[in-house]
Amino acid sequence: MAKLPAISPLDGRLLGEYPAATADEIALKLQRARAAAGIWSQTPVRERCRILVKFGELVLAEIDSIVDCLRLATGKVACEALLGEIYPLLDLLAYYRKHAPDILADRSVATSPFAFPGATAGIRYRPVGVAAIISPWNYPFQLSVAPLLTALFAGNAVILKPSELSLPVGQLIVDLFQRLELPPDLVQWLAGDGSVGAQLIDAGPDLVFFTGSLEGGRAVMRQAAQHPLPVLLELGGKDAMLVFADADLDRAAAAAVYGAFSNSGQVCVSIERLYLQRQCHDEFLRRLLDAVAALRVGVGADVELGAMVSARQIELIKAQYDDAIAQGAAASGPLVCDGNFVRPVVLWNVHHGMRLMREETFGPLLPVMAFDGEADAVGLANDSEYGLNASVWSRDIAKAERVARQLQVGNWAVNDVIKNIGHAGLPFGGVKRSGFGRYHGAEGLLAFSYPVSGLTSRSHLPKEPNWFPYSAQHYRALQGYLDFVYGSGSLRQRIKRNWPALQAFREYSAFDLAQRWHNLKLLLTWHRNY
């Protein structure tokens, strides 16, 4: 059996070896997951909440060991692990504990007493069954557990396929969930690369939730389309930050440094394009360069940037850097790599023909361009195949929100960066090639459910107005009824021109509609005599 080594990007140490899942193992796990889902789906939502909220208690009790696992597996610094991986999950737990019962509650829907006499209608949300969650390496705890928890709150079983670059985190996640009062096999995981993910999709889960690159999302869609299976895709970004001259430049500069270089730029909502209004461009750039020069890269509690996860990603950002320099960009310095540790770089004199401005970077490079006014800023920001997140900076909140609403993104923030993705009540996801589907908020919970519509008739009528037999007279009566309900003009005008048609429906007054028809006749008589 093939084994996958887990190597720490910090120092190259072997963190463990994990057997790659086979097709037979995947099929068996899916079978067990379906049995567990059958039990869990019958568990009342409030009881699910009571059980799942204890996951947060486990995390808080073992927070240092979880952070250490994340630090060794991903190379990120401890504060980043705490703020980016753990805090959003605790907030999501608190949100769903409070709101999941109401979000998933049965809902009544009004019915027309004429079209549906004696009927009631409603919607019930059911779990999809077994959700396959394929998660990335940049935030392997948060971006695995957030959709996993959401799926569980909705009543599903989960099979998790983490990135092959973060296998110790996958093991940690499943170990934590196994300590909860959950049905056996409700949460399982698989070790493997993209081929194992493809086999998981082929095994036939009921939904696939994928977080990763655009190319990875395309591969997932192609595989899922063979069955077909519903997919939710949270893909890459090329997020723009628009800074107007009237912004608080000190705050905006600090935000740009954090937004671009948090987790060494390995964030789906990193600031990857910084647009500065021309009037403040030079001043802002000076502040930016000073702040970036002060950033510390390495290992320990007193650094801001840790290691990048893979050599492959470093090669990608090197290619973007070299392309920009070859096309005339200026840079704050050379691209300095010490193993997996990369110094952050700011580039300017850039344009949209450069790879740096069009392709997702996912690394510590920040390109800067000038813009002239609102229309120019919006045009530059929207000139991208991606549409995940964006931020607008100005003391004029009305202007900032006006600009933000014109951006082709799934999410935006005014005078803040990245943090809006962590709001548990706001649905998160992209447009254009940044994917589709949402998680977080009510929309996220419903994404792991499907609505079942029901209509119950309590009518004792021998037949409904739309049933056979048909006739020319029946056609005219129905036509008149439609004009009475939906046509133009006042109520009096609609009654007057459709009175013969309304009279034709008197036969439906005989049973449970008798009182309603009596009331209608009184109304019609009043209008006729008015």
CA–CA separation, 66 and 69 (whole Å)? 5
234 carries an active-site annotation: yes
DSSP assigned state of 470? P
Q: Which of 80, 234, 304, 360 is catalytic?
A: 234
Of the candidates 268, 272, 359, 360, the residue annotated as catalytic is 268
Strands 119-127 and 107-109: antiparallel
Pairing of β 130-134 and β 207-211: parallel
**SS3 letters for 209-240?**
EEECCHHHHHHHHHHHHCCCCCEEEECCCCEE
- For 235-263, the DSSP string reads ----EEEEE-TTS-HHHHHHHHHHHHHGG
Task: Of 65, 67, 61, give the one whose Cα is nearest residue 82.
Answer: 67
Contact (Cβ atoms closer than 8 angstroms) between residue 17 and residue 1: no
Tell me the C-alpha distance between 95 and 53, whole Å.
Answer: 10
Whether 363 and 261 have beta carbons less than 8 Å apart is answered as no
Give ∠ CA 497-503-508 in degrees, rounded to 5.
140
Q: CA torsion, points 226, 229, 230, 233, in degrees to nearest 10?
A: -60
CA angle at 270 for the pair 350 and 374, rounded to the nearest 5° = 55
| Nearest in space to 308 (alpha carbons), one of 134, 73, 87 | 73
Give me the residues paired with residue 432 across strands.
386
DSSP letters along 313-366, please?
Answer: HHHHHHHHHHHHHHTT-EESS---EETTEE--EEEES--TTSHHHHS---SSEE
Q: What is the largest CA-CA distance in the chain?
A: 92
Rounded to an integer, what distance in angstroms lies between the CA atom of residue 434 and that of residue 385?
8
Bridge partners of 341, per DSSP, are 338
304 catalytic? Reply is no
Label residues 498-510 b or e (16+ Cβ within 10 Å = b): beebbebbeebbe
CA distance 526 to 522: 6
Partners of 305 in beta bridges: 297
- The residues annotated as belonging to the active site are 234, 268
